[in-house]
Amino acid sequence: MLDTSIDYLKGVGPIKADILKKELSIFTYGQLLSYYPFRYIDRTKFHKISEIQDDSDYVQIRGILRRIESHGEGHKKRLVGTFRDESGVMELVWFKGLNWIQNLPTGAEYIIFGKPTVFNGKANIVHPEIELISSLNTELQAVLEPVYSTTEKLNAKNLKSKDIGKIIKSVLLKIEESKTVIEDNLPKYILDEFKFFSRNETLRFIHFPQNQEQLKAARNRLKFEELFFLQLKMLQLKANRKLAYRGFVFASIGDFFNNFYNNNLKFGLTNAQKRVIKEIRKDLGNGMQMNRLLQGDVGSGKTVVAFMTMLMALDNGYQASLMAPTEILAQQHFKSLQEMGEGLGITMELLTGNVKGAKRKAILKQLEEGIINIVIGTHALIEDSVVFKKLGVTIIDEQHRFGVMQRAKMWRKTDLCPPHILVMTATPIPRTLAMTVYGDLDVSVIDEMPPGRLPIKTFHKYESQRLWTFGRMKEEIAKGHQVYIVYPLIEESESEMMAEIKDLMQGYDIISHEFPKPDFQISVVHGKQKPDDKEYEMQRFIRGETQIMMATTVIEVGVNVPNATIMIIENAERFGLAQLHQLRGRVGRGGGDAYCILMTGFKLSEEGRFRMQTMCETTDGFKISEADLKLRGPGNIDGTQQSGIIGLQIADIIKDTNILQAARQIAQRIIDEDPKLEKEENISLKKYILTLQNKQTFNKIS
Ligand code: ADP
Ligand code: MG
């Protein structure tokens, strides 16, 4: 029944069917029933005329139509009805359908419905719905009326919300009359556990609830379904992958690892780092492929964890690779890994788009021959020309810029098994979201900062308080510390970049006037410089020859200068929380006091103000990402694009966390007991997942 084409539905016809297909991708009864209302009008509730305010939403009023008068001439002609209830009087206005309106009996009782406005202190509704009480179908009265979203094209072809409601009602009637039982997609034990309505009832109540309780229960079940199947699918993917792919077994810890730990490691690992390394060690020894996400705030010390993971591969005769999203970040990693690995006898190379010609050829050859132990690079690493002798582990930094597809591509770099994969991200993702976005990965979290880090004191200052900012800069510079001033990048478009460099140059004039040579030296770095010039300027700052680094966001992923203690972010209101947080993480690495100053104009949007406030209140990356999620919704958080949650129709990842957790828990239980969904009681699940395969949402994550 649910697969029946809407072409055969009475009251639809070929033209409407065509529009429904084109505009809403509705082809079948089932899809029609899955087109849920986005809100409901409470028809049980009546308003009083005296309650109407200018910003009132739709109102329903019961009253008496006193008289109807004609105003204006020609195309300005309109009818104005005087409508009264016990609380007051209002006007009803019509520009169209005048003949029908003119004949409405006056002095009778009506129910009207519409969106009011207040003009000159008097409420009016243009083109209200109006129904004579005596003619009202009483059954229709006391319900929540569904409202469906429509498009202009739908409206033009008489497929307004009400029409869609009628069509859906006729499908439900057909199902009822033919006594068709809609097969449930949830097994009985879940229905019992959560006391859900049957699918049949749920579909009826989501469209035509008799009361709020019914609506709520129907909604909850549909939200659960949506989140549950998403989780089930991801967990199944993960379980099947574990069954299907063996992983290299790194049985022993050897000299590379031990020598590093005993001789090169300059600090004690935090407990969080130790815990994560143990988790990884376990993955690498159990014969299954590791697919792990390592989350840790900026500066939490992910690099050393990555390096020790690579050393485990090397100790067992395998190669390792590290892939970064940008050239600068790859270079930075290359440098710090070289330092960490000094004297250990590791052959390490950098492979990015800029490595060309003979050098590139040599690296490719040595990778294939297994002479290079560790290669660090950018996207260039996933090119087909890059062949490894024995790639054991791949580290991917900053997951949000790589898609699932690219992760998969690394797998094909070895013949026997796919390499172990560790994905690192500094974008803290709220737990609820991580569950969904990275549902197919195991997750480790470094939730502890290296000792001695003080929270960065953050201030929000207006342009008019710039002298205060200068004062702070001078104080810190007098102590021998250094300052960043950043003009962050919004988009990497050419025009944006030029505008930003202009801002930067204007800023330079002001700063160099306030901080003149020879007492003060300033580095300037931006995206239009030649790599050599950029490098030169950065090196001067790193060596402490310049006190001030003025830059566009190239430093976001760039230099690590523990002596820098102030981060000044210009035009801070233009930037998202995640980016502000990342930038702030560039200071405070030296152990002493550090400051972040957010400079904005005086005029701020409410949202902009909230962002500044959040930054001033907390330095906890997870709290900041929760706030970000609330502001922007899950669709805009890095990493969510391929997750499938964008396609959620009824569940809300922020508000429905309880349902999400319940769904996740039971999905996990089912997959643990029955990873292939072969048990009798889970057949309905397997069937339903198959029907969902066609849906875009699910294709994205498979
Ligand atoms: P991120 O997680 O942002 O990649 P890094 O790995 O770059 O952080 O580490 C930030 C800084 O902290 C580096 O200078 C690193 O040497 C240092 N660091 C890492 N772990 C510790 C630790 N356990 N104790 C002290 N310093 C540490
Ligand atoms: Mg890092």
Tell how far the Cα of 560 is from the centroid of ligand 1, in angstroms: 10
Position 154 scores a pLDDT of 86
CB within 8 Å of 100: residues ≥ 6 apart? none
Q: How many other C-beta atoms can be found within 10 angstroms of the C-beta atom of residue 501? A: 17
Evaluate whether 446 touches 294 at the Cβ level (below 8 Å): yes
Extract the tokens encoding 51: 């309650």
Q: In the chain, which residues have pLDDT < 70?
A: 135-142, 399-416, 427-432, 435-437, 489-494, 496, 553-559, 633-647, 693-702
Residue written as tokens 């390499």? Answer: 419
Q: Which two tokens stand for residue 464?
A: 């008019």
Kindly report the protein residue whose alpha carbon is nearest to atom 5 of ligand 1. Answer: 301
Residues paired with 71 in a beta bridge: 78
What residue ranges in 302-434 does DSSP mark as E strands?
319-323, 348-351, 374-377, 391-397, 420-425
List, chain by chain if needed, residues with CB within 6 Å of any ligand 1 atom.
267, 269-270, 273, 296, 298-304, 426, 450, 560, 589
pLDDT tens digits, residue range 619-639?
888 888 888 877 776 555 444
Q: How far apart are alpha carbons 369 and 691 in whole angstroms?
A: 47
CA distance 209 to 217: 10
CA of residue 499 to ligand 1 center, whole Å: 34
| Burial category of 389 from C-beta neighbours within 10 Å (exposed 0-12, middle 13-18, buried 19 and up) | middle
Contact status, residue 127 vs residue 114, Cβ threshold 8 Å:
yes
**Of the candidates 246, 240, 244, 206, which has an alpha carbon nearest to the alpha carbon of residue 223?**
206
Q: Measuring from atom 26 of ligand 1, which residue has the nearest CA?
A: 450
Ligand 1 pocket test, pick from 303, 336, 557, 587 with the greatest ligand atom count within 8 Å of Cβ, gives: 303
Q: Report which ligand 1 atom has the smallest distance to the Cα of 446.
A: 2
For residue 413, the tally of other CB atoms under 10 A from its CB is: 19
Task: Write down the pLDDT at residue 409.
Answer: 62
Asked if residue 23 lies in contact with residue 154, where contact means CB atoms within 8 angstroms, the answer is yes
In this structure, the number of other CB atoms found within 10 A of the CB of residue 207 comes to 24
Hey, whose CA ends up nearest to atom 24 of ligand 1?
450
**Residue 545, SS3?**
coil
Q: With H, G, I as helix, E, B as strand and everything else as coil, classify residue 361.
A: helix
The CA distance from 614 to 546, in Å, is: 32
- In angstroms, the CA 431 to CA 132 distance is 54
pLDDT digits (tens, 9 = 90+) for 248-270: 999 999 999 999 999 999 999 99
Among candidates 581, 578, 572, 585, which has minimal Cα distance to 631? 578
Digit-coded pLDDT (tens) for 99-150: 888 888 999 999 898 889 988 888 999 989 888 887 655 544 447 889 898 8
Name the CA dihedral angle for 640, 642, 646, 648, rounded to a multiple of 10 degrees: -120
Structure tokens at 493: 């478009």
- Candidates 265, 274, 293, 300: which one to mutate for ligand 1, based on the most atoms within 8 Å of Cβ? 300
Which among 336, 339, 334 has a CA at the least distance from the CA of 349?
334
- Which has the closest alpha carbon to 422: 538, 523, 572, 322? 322
450 CA distance to ligand 1 middle (Å): 7
The ligand 1 atom nearest the CA atom of 273: 23
Q: Are 594 and 472 in contact (CB under 8 A)?
A: no
Instruction: Please tell me whether residue 126 adopts helix, strand or coil conformation.
Output: strand
Instruction: Compute the distance from residue 621 Cα to the ligand 2 centre, in Å.
Output: 14
- Rounded to the nearest whole angstrom, what is the distance from the C-alpha of residue 585 to the centroid of ligand 2? 11
Token reading at 44:
């049980």
CB 347 within 8 A of CB 371: yes
Q: Please tell me whether the peptide bond between 518 and the residue prior to it is cis, using omega within 30 degrees of 0.
A: yes
Could you tell me the two tokens for 430?
A: 């709220």
Query: Ligand 1 pocket check: which of 261, 298, 304 to mutate, most ligand atoms within 8 Å of Cβ?
Result: 304
Among protein residues, the one whose CA lies closest to atom 4 of ligand 1:
302
Provide the whole-model pTM.
0.67
Give the phi and the psi of residue 118 in degrees, each rounded to 5. Answer: -115, 125
Q: What is the DSSP string of 584-601?
A: HTTS--SSS--EEEEEE-
Separation CA 392–CA 593 (nearest Å): 41
CA of 298 to the centre of ligand 1 (A): 9
Question: Which CA distances in Å does 325 have to 146, 615, 645?
Answer: 47, 26, 24
Q: Quote the pLDDT of residue 701.
A: 39
Q: Dihedral of the CA atoms 461, 462, 466, 469 (nearest 10)?
A: 10
In 3D, which of 426, 413, 420, 359 has the Cα closest to residue 381?
413
Between the CA of 302 and the centroid of ligand 1 the distance, in Å, is: 7
CB neighbours of residue 631 within 10 Å? 15
- Given this model, what pLDDT does residue 614 score? 95
Q: Residue with the nearest Cα to atom 25 of ligand 1?
A: 450
Helices (H), 388-487: 404-411, 431-437, 466-478
- Backbone phi, psi, residue 111, to 5°: -115, 125
Q: Whose CA is nearest to atom 10 of ligand 1?
A: 299
Residue 639: left (phi > 0), alpha (psi -120 to 50), or beta? Answer: left
Burial of 618 (0-12, 13-18, 19+ CB in 10 A): middle
- Give 365's contacts (C-beta < 8 A, 6+ positions apart): none
Helices (H), 178-248: 188-194, 199-207, 212-244
At 398-436, the pLDDT tens digits run 755 455 555 556 656 666 678 999 988 876 666 667 766
